[in-house]
Amino acid sequence: MERRTFLTTALVGTAALALGVNLYAPEHIKVNKALDSEHRLLFSVLLPVFLDDALPEVEKLRIAAQNRTLDAITQTISLLPADGQAELEQLLDMLENRLGLLVLTGSMTPLMMRNPDQLIAMLEYWRNSFLDMMVTAYQGLRELVLASYYSCPEHWNRLNYAKPTFLEV
């Protein structure tokens, strides 16, 4: 690619990304856009896909469940050993950056501008990839999101499960 075209595309892309963020950041997700060091925005886009049918239908409950899961994800990440954290951070950074997106998903469109079917297609592409890197990216995110979601007792209703209460006075 010629240097000039590359730069132009990069600039356009950055603008699009910024636009994407502004336009598509869901209102209810508690993120400080300037300081999204916890990748909340990114996860807020992925959660509805990973948790389709698991999240409550009532909007208020769904939003609360999503926010709770985002907090749990932050907590889970903080518990990973340094190596694991570094690997995950690299993946999340790539997903927030156009070139990274191109490498991982074959498209530069920011994730928040993709619709659920496109996001599912992306996950399926990783899941079935012949490259271990892609498969582990899928599995890493999958495990992080699902473990974080089901770690919250508030999300056990659908399982008809609750922990025993004999210890409660």
Partner 1 sequence: MAIPDPIVEGLASGWKHIDASQLSQDQTLEADVVIVGSGAGGGVAAEILTDAGLTVIIVEGGPLKSSESFNMEERRAYPNLYHQAAAMKTKDKAIGIFQGRAVGGSTTVNWTTSIRTPKPTLDFWAKDKSVQGLSREELDPWFDKMEKRLNISKWEYEPNRNNQALKLGCENLGWHYTVIKRNVKGCWNTGYCGMGCPVNAKQSMLVTTIPAALDKGATLVSRAKVIELEHHNDKILAVKAQALNEQMQPTEVKLVFKAKHYIIAAGAIHTPTILLRSNLADPHELLGKRTFLHPTLLSGAIFSDPINGHSGAPQSIYSDEFVWKHGAASGELGYKLEVPPVHPVLIASKTIGYGKTHAALMEQFNQLQVTIALIRDGYHEQSQGGQVQLTDTGFAIDYPLNETFWRSVRRAFGSMAELQFAAGAKRVLPITEGAPYLNSWKEAKSAIETLDLGPLKTVVASAHVMGGCPMGEDTKLSMVDSQGNSHYYENLSVMDGSVFPTSLGANPQLTIYGMTARNATLLAERLKSSS
The dihedral built from the CA positions of residue 103, 108, 110 and 113, taken in this order, carries a sign that is negative
| DSSP, residue by residue, 106-154 | S--S-GGGS-HHHHHHHHHHHHT-SSHHHHHHHHHHHHHHHHHHHTSGG
Name the site residues for partner 1 (rule: CB under 8 A). Answer: 49-54, 72, 75-76, 78-84, 120, 123, 127, 132, 135-136, 139-140, 142-143, 145-147, 149-153, 156, 158-161, 163-164, 166-167, 169
Give percent helix, percent strand, percent coil of the chain, each to the nearest 5: 70, 0, 30
Closer CB to partner 1, residue 48 or residue 100?
48
Structure tokens at 56: 């409550």
> Shortest Cβ distance from residue 43 to partner 1 (Å)?
13
Dig out the tokens for 22 from the structure: 């502004």
Name which of 15 and 116 has its Cβ closer to partner 1: 116
**Which of residues 29 and 123 has its CB atom nearest to partner 1 in the complex?**
123
In angstroms, what is the minimal distance from the CB of 109 to partner 1? 20
Considering beta carbons, is residue 17 or 42 the nearer one to partner 1?
42
How far is residue 136's CA from residue 118's CA, in Å, rounded to a whole number?
Answer: 20
Phi-psi region of 53 (alpha: psi -120 to 50; beta: other; left: phi over 0): left
Query: Which one, 5 or 78, has the nearer CB to partner 1?
Result: 78
Residues 6+ apart with CB under 8 A from 21: 33, 41, 110, 112
CB 5 to partner 1: min, Å: 37
CB of 68 to partner 1, least distance (A): 11
User: Closest distance between partner 1 and the C-beta of residue 141, in Å?
Assistant: 9
